Amino acid sequence: MIDKETAYTIYTTLIESSYFNSEIDRKFLKYLIDASVNHRTLKEIDIAMEFFGRTDVSPFSSLDSIVRSHMYSLRKKLQTYYLTEGKEDKKKLVLPKGQYKVECVATQNQVPSKKIKKNAYAVFAAVLLLFIALSIYYFQKSYSLEKQVHGNQYNHHENPIWSDFIESSLPTLLVIGDYYVLQQPLETNERERFIRDVEINSKEDSESFLWGDHPQENGNYRNPFDVFGDGSSLCGFDPG
């Protein structure tokens, strides 16, 4: 269906553009609009006789290409106009392929604008919901970790082994790994130092050092198993 008033309003706009300065194009478009608004179904032979004034045609004769070429030219000019001067028009005239009529349709740049606006709102809402969900998740995660930290705090006052290390203001040496560290007093016998011998890495190395190769050092160092009794890697000095 084509609205008569809308079709002629669009036609007036078209003929004022630079793409329809040809008299034949204006008249041909007007002829097709008149036929469409009056619900006439045109055929090629009708256009050839009525508009182009051909008298030597009949349903059984082969028509020349004058009708098809003018339809093609008119269709291309309409398409070009709506890509340039008429790109902001809300409605446009189109010539469907294979038919000799005019249709009035909404331009594509008007319909998607509403969809784009709706899609923008939907995307914004989705992003907002995702942000809220992530905020809640990380807040709960942080709160849970904080509770775990507070719940797992170690009360060193109840542990007689580590309390001396934690509460003491003296320097503490913590050795991580399977190392033997030798403890040796200073000359004042009031302070001591720890020595790491790279050649002493086991009980056998320690016994070989203390009892075999360097028996003179036997009084200065103790086998770690003698001090701790559990195979610890820390060697202690026994001043007595």
Q: What is the pLDDT of residue 187?
A: 66
Cα angle 184-185-186, degrees, rounded to a multiple of 5: 125
Q: What is the pLDDT of residue 234?
A: 41
> How many angstroms separate the CA atoms of 204 and 237, rounded?
18
pTM of the model: 0.45
Q: What is the pLDDT of residue 127?
A: 92
Q: What is the pLDDT of residue 196?
A: 74
Give Dmax over CA atoms of the chain in angstroms: 138
> How many angstroms separate the CA atoms of 38 and 83, rounded?
29
Which segments in the chain show pLDDT lower than 70?
1, 57-64, 108-116, 149-166, 172-180, 183-193, 218-240
> How many angstroms separate the CA atoms of 44 and 47, rounded?
5
Q: What is the pLDDT of residue 231?
A: 41
Q: What is the pLDDT of residue 108?
A: 66
Q: What is the pLDDT of residue 8?
A: 93
